[in-house]
């Protein structure tokens, strides 16, 4: 499969259609896919014949499982150029989606993680299905919840975003709606009919899109997160990882024990950098969040960080036994955390000025 066929563009009626077309790779994003998506959205943003955009993934398993981070990690910290180029191109695409002036509708029909979140959640409509599996699992591979995670996660209700970003919790459709990540539940077998109706409609506003989606939307069922909401808000309302873990340890509930065990499996450095990232992102505009995240990932790919060990353990050797360094939260000092936020000089992320910069 050549790079041009990894992402396909088509116009149906007044609808711009995007197909992420790497089903065997769970539609993981490459640098070229992000660049081509960014260019196409730029054209459609000012094309009066395009009223809305729909994005979906090929195959039956995934919308988009993330970025192709294994390839990036295999280059190692001494050859970080491809990783830096990938993240810059991906983040420019994320910003394009956030500022896109027309309805942008994603079908999260299957696995939606990491980069798949970035290519969907910043648009106006995220359609979830019974196959949706949504997560930001980066702390488990020594990375951070990027692609705009520092912007949207702190803005979820209560402390849900901190819980999702730190633990990599996996959300099904009802939980996605509960958090505000998803905008409507539509069964998988009705997605094609929804797209056909959107393409056939004389769309003139976001209200037109809302009305059509509403005719296909159904009840997603019970919300698992709601049962633990008070516990989540209390524990993840703490301002340090140590306090979060202490709080969880003091809760006499199976959920707390399971959540604490999950945190103890994650990269201690990633956890501390992520918490600081989310605390800072809560007060930043979107583009400033993307610039901050670019600093974070650039620092993480240019030294022998936990990122390389995480990819080895999870995606290469698949022993799922990463040897984190440092190995515990208490060994990660504040100075080491803050080094990841240092400016990059002439390597800062370049984001163009968009026509609708409001956050």
Q: Tokens standing for 224?
A: 């698992």
Q: Are 29 and 119 in contact (CB under 8 A)?
A: yes
Q: How far apart are CA 35 and CA 233, in angstroms?
A: 38
Out of 6, 56, 84, 138, pick the active-site residue. Answer: 138
317 part of the active site? no
Q: Tokens standing for 62?
A: 């995934």
For residue 309, give the nearest of 290, 331, 325, 287 by alpha carbon. Answer: 325
Q: How far apart are CA 213 and CA 191, in angstroms?
A: 10
Q: How far apart are CA 120 and CA 109, in angstroms?
A: 11
Q: What does each C-alpha distance from 340 to 21, 35, 74, 246 come to in angstroms?
A: 34, 26, 21, 25
115 part of the active site? yes
Residue-by-residue DSSP string for 42-56:
HHHHT-TT--EEEEE
Q: Are 73 and 97 in contact (CB under 8 A)?
A: no
Q: How far apart are CA 113 and CA 169, in angstroms?
A: 11
Range list of H helices, the chain: 31-45, 69-74, 81-98, 115-118, 149-152, 160-167, 173-179, 191-200, 206-216, 224-227, 229-235, 241-250, 254-265, 268-281, 286-301, 306-311, 334-339
Out of 146, 287, 306, 309, pick the active-site residue. Answer: 146
Out of 13, 16, 115, 118, pick the active-site residue. Answer: 115
As a three-state string, the secondary structure of 226-253 is HHCHHHHHHHCCCCCHHHHHHHHHHCCC
138 part of the active site? yes
60 part of the active site? no
Burial of 170 (0-12, 13-18, 19+ CB in 10 A): middle
Three-state secondary-structure class, residue 102? coil
Q: How far apart are CA 307 and CA 5, in angstroms?
A: 29
Residues carrying an active site annotation: 67, 115, 138, 146
């Amino acid at each position: 499969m050549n790079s041009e066929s990894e992402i396909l563009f088509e116009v149906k009626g007044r609808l711009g259609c995007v197909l992420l077309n790497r089903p065997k790779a769970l539609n993981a994003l490459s640098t070229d896919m992000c660049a081509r998506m960014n260019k196409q959205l730029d054209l459609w943003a000012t094309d009066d014949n395009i009223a809305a955009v729909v994005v979906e993934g090929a195959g039956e398993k995934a919308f988009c499982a993330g970025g192709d981070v294994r390839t990036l990690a295999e280059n190692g910290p001494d050859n970080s150029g491809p990783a830096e180029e990938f993240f810059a191109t991906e983040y420019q695409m994320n910003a394009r989606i956030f500022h896109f002036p027309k309805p942008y509708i994603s079908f999260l029909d299957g696995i939606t993680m990491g980069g798949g979140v970035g290519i969907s959640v910043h648009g106006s409509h995220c359609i979830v299905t019974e196959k949706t599996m949504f997560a930001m699992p980066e702390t488990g591979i020594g990375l951070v919840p990027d692609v705009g995670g520092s912007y949207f996660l702190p803005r979820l209700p209560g402390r849900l975003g901190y819980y999702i970003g730190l633990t990599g919790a996996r959300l099904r459709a009802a939980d996605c709606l509960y958090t505000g990540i998803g905008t409507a539940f539509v069964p998988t077998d009705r997605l094609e009919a929804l797209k056909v109706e959107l393409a056939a409609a004389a769309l003139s506003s976001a209200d037109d899109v809302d009305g059509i989606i509403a005719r296909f939307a159904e009840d997603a069922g019970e919300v698992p997160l709601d049962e633990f909401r008070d516990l989540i808000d209390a524990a993840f309302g703490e301002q340090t990882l140590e306090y979060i873990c202490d709080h969880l340890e003091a809760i006499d509930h199976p959920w707390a024990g399971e959540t604490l065990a999950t945190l103890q499996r994650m990269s201690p450095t990633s956890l501390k950098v992520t918490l600081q990232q989310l605390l800072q992102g809560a007060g930043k505009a979107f583009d400033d969040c993307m610039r901050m995240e670019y600093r974070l990932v650039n620092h993480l790919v240019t030294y022998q960080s936990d990122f390389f060990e995480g990819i080895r353990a999870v995606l290469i050797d698949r022993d799922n036994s990463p040897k984190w360094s440092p190995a515990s939260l208490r060994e990660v000092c504040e100075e080491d955390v803050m080094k990841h936020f240092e400016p990059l000089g002439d390597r800062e992320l370049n984001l163009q000025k968009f026509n609708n910069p409001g956050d």
